[in-house]
Chains A and B, each alone.
Chain A
Amino acid sequence: MTPKRKKILIGALAGVLVLALLFLAGLTSTERENISKPEQFLRDMLAPLQNGASVVSGNIRNWGAYLQGVDNIRAENDELRKEISELRLQLVDLAEYQQENERLRDLLNMAEDVDAQFEYVTTTVVNRSQSSWYKTLVISGGEDAGFAVGMPVVSAQGLVGRIINTSANTAEVLLITDREGAISAMVQNTRTVGVVEGDGETSELSMIRVPYDAEIENYQQIITSGYGGVYPKGLLVGYINSIALQSDGLMLDIDVRSYVDFNRLEEVMVLKPKN
């Protein structure tokens, strides 16, 4: 083969390879119900090893804290945090119950409680790729544990995200801080509805599509609205940190803070429908 022909052949092969890979990327760019067999195989094969490695990293983090001589304080702090989280959740639940009771006295059977609809399945985080382009977590437990695409994932501090794909032993969770993880939410006290979305860059959230005259204040709790059918109503999203008027003067720019520390998540709960 002449060098010129060889060059043409190599160029053609490179072109075909690039087009094939781009085509494949395009095919898989939408949210998929089922991932391919090679993906499932590799994810399941590597999951136990990843799990082991993440346990080691968790231990090292704890060890670092021990070396700093704050272990006891940490344990106490963890206990208090847990208690605060539980109380906070109880408070949210109580406020929610109170409001629901008032509003639904005449509209019984219109809304159902999250606890009645879902079973909480606790699982561990085996990998997080929050440093990269998309903010996702990989959790242990997949189809074998009954997890499916679309199931909400929460922690004791509030909403974490939803499952976007599963293999037999793992599931990938799209965090609410991802720019594609927007959720329909409402201010708990005033029932003002909006959309909470992440910027994909930090762990910060903002609530948009809220009219300028909405009667809201700082530190009010934000919960899921239940609209859109992705998340059930009443899951804690965060609280209002600051409110500003958009430049057009028609909508509010609301800075929302989640109670969840997305960088330190080690255990989460998947909300599995009971029926």
Chain B
Amino acid sequence: MDSIKLHYDISATDFTRAGAASGDVKRTLKELGVAPSTIRNVAVAMYEGEINMVIHAGGGVIDVEITEDAIKMVLADQGPGIENVELAMKEGFSTAPDNIRCLGFGAGMGLPNIKKYTDEFQLDTEVGVGTTLTLKVYMKP
């Protein structure tokens, strides 16, 4: 199979649209006949990434590449960056404001979930510059 490339612009502060990109990827993978567990892993990781971009970074871009072996996702934003990566990776730690918590977010599970659901996880961040997540979920037979 040739690789399939998808690109999404994630707009800032629009919670009602968050989930649109991951939903689209989910549909695409379903049509390709990818294993449900693989689809779930990709969808959850991407949705968490989308939400993070909306909450913390004022939006960003997501590029997805689907090949025979894996689904690769690159989520890039030009937000404030992450000051303490070790803390951000800890379950339960969150810097989300109260209005976000009222929506049901801010559990401090975003990045830990993304790591949990991906086979490869790389986080590059610089304070004042932005954050890029490079993720891979392997295709399971």
Interaction A to B: no
Binding site for B on A (CB under 8 A): none
B-side residues, CB < 8 A to A, are: none
